[in-house]
Amino acid sequence: MTVSPIERRARSFTASGTAPADEPNPTLFVKEHTVVTVYVDNYRCHATVGRLTGRWSHLTADTSDELHTFAARLGLRRAWFQARCRYSTCPAPDGVCVHYHYDVIDSMRTRAIRTGAHPIDIRDLGALITARRTAQRPTPAAT
């Protein structure tokens, strides 16, 4: 298997998601001094969605607003936003649950990474969702 420059670059990222010192930092600045943290996982599930057959991964961000801004830059349609998962018991305040994402095929995944999305492992996506769920939970009242 050949390793593309993008893949090689993705693999070179440190655990904290920062780029190696000899390369430009890929962090995307949407507005001055506003760091947007967008992630794309390596799910790469083979599927046909509409007319598109390919390997699909999840594009998500720290907030859904950040995700929409990034997705628009990539040319993704807002209608493709997956606000809800298939679990009916998953709480969705304002119609958006913790699993919110866009599905992207490999070519778009590569573009997302090139545009500044941090490549993450599918297991990291699980950790991200768990953290979102924890943040959503009301803090227990002090006794």
Task: Report the alpha-carbon distance of residue 39 to residue 102 in Å, rounded.
Answer: 11
Interface with Zn ion: number of residues (CB under 5 A): 4
Q: What's the min distance (Å) between Cβ of 25 and Zn ion?
A: 32
Asked if residue 97 binds Zn ion (CB under 5 A), the reply is: yes
Which tokens is 22 given? Answer: 């000899």
Instruction: Kindly tell me which of 58 and 99 has the beta carbon lying closer to Zn ion.
Output: 99
Among 10, 38, 99, 120, indicate the residue that binds Zn ion (CB under 5 A): 99
Distances (CA, A) of 44 to 54, 93, 103, 120, 124: 8, 29, 10, 12, 14
Instruction: Kindly tell me which of 113 and 128 has the beta carbon lying closer to Zn ion.
Output: 128
Asked if residue 90 binds Zn ion (CB under 5 A), the reply is: yes
Task: Round to the nearest angstrom and report the end-to-end CA distance of the chain.
Answer: 59
> Contact residues for Zn ion (CB under 5 A)?
85, 90, 97, 99
